[in-house]
């Protein structure tokens, strides 16, 4: 196929190299400000009934994988046997049972459930069935709008996918990342290209309401020509939605550790201007195929059918109880994280206690900033929403920052809303730091 030069479609400095560190903004205040000595704040939040109308969601962390990707920084294990996995799932069930007795749950039913990892699809059908059945007994799913399940293509069979659909999964998310075997191997992915087509075909035959695929721009070894082929094949699959990430090298990844050993500051992946150009190219191609870009990372084939309830509710202040090792929660206005060591997590749950590790209760102003920056990732933040909820005029409060970003061509704003241009969406995580409160700027994010 002809190669179209897309790597130079940018006015940014040509040497904006990728370095070690967390780029993606997923919460606020930054995780580095959460403290073990503030766990009592989480205990207090869990002991009180929720504010009327606050949605509830569940996140279930499955930390098992066939291989650890070289760019992965999540809590995952590749060496656990069947007995250890069953012990973990038993602990997750017990943890949910502890929550079910607390005032913050008090008969509430979840609006969304998200199985993440790790690799949730690493579990057997028997393990999945036992976990879900126990969850449904404790918190009925009859009001659930969305159940998301992350999958690695090589772990899927037609039988397992049928079980997932019967369990109530509404959005299956396939971590494809790339279609080239050499690039997948170089980045530590467990699956190969032939497993992608097989898994996707099985998933379509089962009839999931929404199938999402993940792609990553700028993986190690990726070229412009390869990226164009990846985009072409992604469109050819015709997924209901696509999530496009730009490769970052967070702390505690295999790549970052090797960089420190070698004394290298620049990561062996594409520079940020190139990755942004590649992501923009992908969005252009999906748009030409009839998709609608709905956030800084997603495009959907039919906005009426493909949604992201988990994301939209959480970014608007919903409660979310995270189950499993190292999982994150947001309850009653308080953030907290579970124990991040497998053995410690299981031991604490077996002793009948919630495995809380660290916490932080944001101030009202911090909550305002959190929702403002997260909603900017959707491309628009509406002034009336923040006036009604927080009594703060975001346009006025962030007047200087917004004016600066408008002058740079990243966004527009008027009396109704702030809207990011494509140039702003492509680097929204970098731009969001402009809105951090002074005490959170220039600090380590995670």
Tell me: the pLDDT tens digits for 107-157?
Answer: 899 999 999 999 999 999 999 999 999 999 999 999 999 999 999 999 999
d(CA 22, CA 154): 28
d(CA 9, CA 3): 14
**Would the pLDDT of 14 be above 70?**
no
- Tell me the DSSP string of 110-129: -SEEEEEES-GGGS-HHHHH
**Would the pLDDT of 9 be above 70?**
no
* Cis amide bond preceding 118, omega within 30: yes
Which residues, 6 or more positions from 225, have their beta carbon under 8 angstroms from its beta carbon? 1, 3
Structure tokens at 311: 């994301």
Q: What pLDDT shows up at residue 442? A: 86
**Would the pLDDT of 273 be above 60?**
yes
**pTM for this predicted structure:** 0.94
Which residues, 6 or more positions from 33, have their beta carbon under 8 angstroms from its beta carbon? 360, 440, 443
Q: What pLDDT shows up at residue 107? A: 87
Q: Domain residue spans in the chain?
A: 31-313, 364-446
d(CA 400, CA 14): 27
d(CA 347, CA 326): 14
Report the mean per-residue pLDDT for the chain.
94
pLDDT level of residue 15 (50, 70, 90 thresholds): low
For 396-427, what is each residue's pLDDT tens digit?
A: 999 999 999 999 999 999 999 999 999 999 99
**Would the pLDDT of 361 be above 80?**
yes
Ramachandran quadrant class, 326 (left: phi over 0; alpha: psi -120 to 50; beta: rest): left
Structure tokens at 290: 């009839």
- Where are any strands of DSSP class E within 24-72? 56-62
CATH 3.40.920.10 for domain 364-446, yes or no, is: no
Backbone CA torsion sign across 296, 299, 305, 306: negative
**Would the pLDDT of 39 be above 50?**
yes
- How is domain 31-313 classified at the architecture level of CATH? Alpha-Beta Horseshoe (3.80)
């Amino acid at each position: 196929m002809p190669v179209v030069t897309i790597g130079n479609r940018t006015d940014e400095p040509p040497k904006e190299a990728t370095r070690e560190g967390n780029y993606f903004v997923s919460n606020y205040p930054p995780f580095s400000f959460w403290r073990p000595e503030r766990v009592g704040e989480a205990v207090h939040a869990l002991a009180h009934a929720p504010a009327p109308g606050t949605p509830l969601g569940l996140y279930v962390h499955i930390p098992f994988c066939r291989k650890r990707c070289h760019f992965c920084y999540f809590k995952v294990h590749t060496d656990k046997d069947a007995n250890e996995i069953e012990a973990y799932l038993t602990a997750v069930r017990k943890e949910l049972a502890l929550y079910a007795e607390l005032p913050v749950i008090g008969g509430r039913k979840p609006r969304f459930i998200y199985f993440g990892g790790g690799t949730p699809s690493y579990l057997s059908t028997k393990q999945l069935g036992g976990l879900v059945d126990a969850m449904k007994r404790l918190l009925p799913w009859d009001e659930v709008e969305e159940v998301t399940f992350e999958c690695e293509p090589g772990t899927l069979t037609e039988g397992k996918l049928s079980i997932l659909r019967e369990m109530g999964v509404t959005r299956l998310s396939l971590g494809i990342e790339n279609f080239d075997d050499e690039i997948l191997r170089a980045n530590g992915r467990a699956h190969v290209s032939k497993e992608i087509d097989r898994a996707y075909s099985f998933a379509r035959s089962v009839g999931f309401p929404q199938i999402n695929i993940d792609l990553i721009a700028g993986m190690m070894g990726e070229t412009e020509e390869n990226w164009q082929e990846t985009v072409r094949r992604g469109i050819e699959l015709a997924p209901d939605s696509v999530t496009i990430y730009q490769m970052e090298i967070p702390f505690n990844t295999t790549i970052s550790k090797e960089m420190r050993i070698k004394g290298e500051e620049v990561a062996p992946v594409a520079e940020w201007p190139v990755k942004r150009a590649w992501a923009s190219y992908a969005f252009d191609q999906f748009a030409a195929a009839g998709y609608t870009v709905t956030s800084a990372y997603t495009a959907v084939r039919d906005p009426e059918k493909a949604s992201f309830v988990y994301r939209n509710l959480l970014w608007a202040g919903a409660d979310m109880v995270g189950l499993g090792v190292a999982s994150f929660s947001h309850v009653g206005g308080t953030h907290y994280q579970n124990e991040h060591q497998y053995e410690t997590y299981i031991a604490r749950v077996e002793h009948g206690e919630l495995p809380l590790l660290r916490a932080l209760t944001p101030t009202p102003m911090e909550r305002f900033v959190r929702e403002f920056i997260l909603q900017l990732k959707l491309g628009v933040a509406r002034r009336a929403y923040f006036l009604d909820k927080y009594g703060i005029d975001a346009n006025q409060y962030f007047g200087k920052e917004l004016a600066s970003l408008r002058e740079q061509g990243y966004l527009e704003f008027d009396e109704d809303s702030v809207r990011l241009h494509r140039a702003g969406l492509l680097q929204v995580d970098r731009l969001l730091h402009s809105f951090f409160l002074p005490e959170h700027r220039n600090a380590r994010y995670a």
